[in-house]
Amino acid sequence: MSDTAHEHAGPGHPGGADRTGPPGHPGFTFGPSALVTPANAITVARLLAAPVYVLMLVAWGASWINVVVGFFLAASDGLDGYLARRHGTTRSGAFLDPLADKAVVLGALITLAAQGHLPWLPVVLITIREVGMQAYRSWVGRRGVSIPARNSAKLKTLVQDFAVGACIIPPLAHQHGLQVAMIWFACALTLYTGAEYLLDGWRALRTTATPTP
């Protein structure tokens, strides 16, 4: 999921939680400075699973077990986003969630390129964009700016997942033309959404810097 689950701020006391009830109570929310939250636990688990998934791709290649594990990794991204919205978004989540997304997707794409399933050029361009946007997100965040994700960012993540799927779903494993088409489509969309994000960040920074009359 990448650019969608967490925002840089949320409700709650700066100490970590707005204790309108015990943990698990419908009114309980975590403050923006909280570290130990259900959403972050899932995000960290996804981050730690990224190198394991890479090893699975190396060991088993195109296989249904890799398809299933990849599906659950993608689904867990939606789950931690739901928990973050329900229990309060955090600054740590805003940093960790896209980092976990990048680790999973880029790890898979680089592995598949190394195995010869995907051309290197679009994978390198996607990697540069994703790493650059992660650094940019941190930079604007330190200036108190939160850039909301567009729907195109969600589509970008989905297309990247499909590009991986085209290589690991057994019936598609030898459809090299489809794999090349999917990765170039994912690359074009990734670069386009990166430009959108840069423009949105520039506008948000200008708005923040403009003094109120």
| In a domain? residue 4 | no
| Residue 64 C-beta-side C-alpha neighbours within 13 Å | 1
Range with top average pLDDT, 13-22, 135-144, 164-173: 164-173
Q: Are 208 and 147 in contact (CB under 8 A)?
A: no
Tell whether 23 is covered by a domain: yes
- How much of the chain exceeds pLDDT 70, in percent? 81
Specify the pLDDT at position 15.
41
Q: What is the pLDDT of residues 188-210, one digit of tens each?
A: 999 999 999 999 989 888 887 66
User: Judging by beta carbons within 10 Å of its beta carbon (0-12, 13-18, 19+), is residue 47 exposed, middle or buried?
Assistant: middle
Mean confidence (pLDDT) of the chain: 83
Do the Cβ atoms of 9 and 28 come closer than 8 Å?
no
Q: Which of 184, 64, 163 shows the shortest CA–CA distance to 111?
A: 163
44 falls within a domain: yes
Question: Residue range 5-9: average pLDDT?
Answer: 41
Write out the residue range of the structural domain in which residue 98 sits: 17-209
Question: What pTM, to 2 d.p., does this model score?
Answer: 0.79
The more confident residue out of 12 and 164 is 164
Residue 90 — pLDDT band, cuts 50, 70, 90? confident
Query: Is 201 a member of any domain?
Result: yes
Backbone φ, ψ for residue 143 (5° rounding): -100, 15
Residue 125 domain-assigned (yes or no): yes
What confidence score (pLDDT) does residue 209 get? Answer: 67
Percent of the chain topping pLDDT 90: 49
- Residue 110 CB neighbours (<10 A): 18
Tokens matching residue 55: 């090893």
Nearest by Cα to 130 from 100, 172, 150, 162 = 100
What's the number of domains the chain is made of?
Answer: 1
Residue 166 burial (10 A CB sphere; 0-12, 13-18, 19+): buried
Helices marked H in the chain: 38-60, 64-87, 91-114, 120-141, 151-168, 176-209
Other beta carbons within 10 Å of 203:
12
Q: Does residue 208 contact residue 143 with C-beta atoms inside 8 Å?
A: yes
Structure tokens at 38: 């259900």
Query: Which tokens in the block code for residue 171?
Result: 């019936």
In a domain, 146, yes or no: yes
7 falls within a domain:
no
pLDDT computed for residue 83 by the predictor: 78
The reply to whether 29 falls in a domain is yes
Q: Tell whether the model's pLDDT for residue 137 goes beyond 60.
A: yes
Q: Tell me: the pLDDT tens digits for 56-82?
A: 999 999 999 999 999 999 888 778 777
CATH number at residue 73: 1.20.120.1760
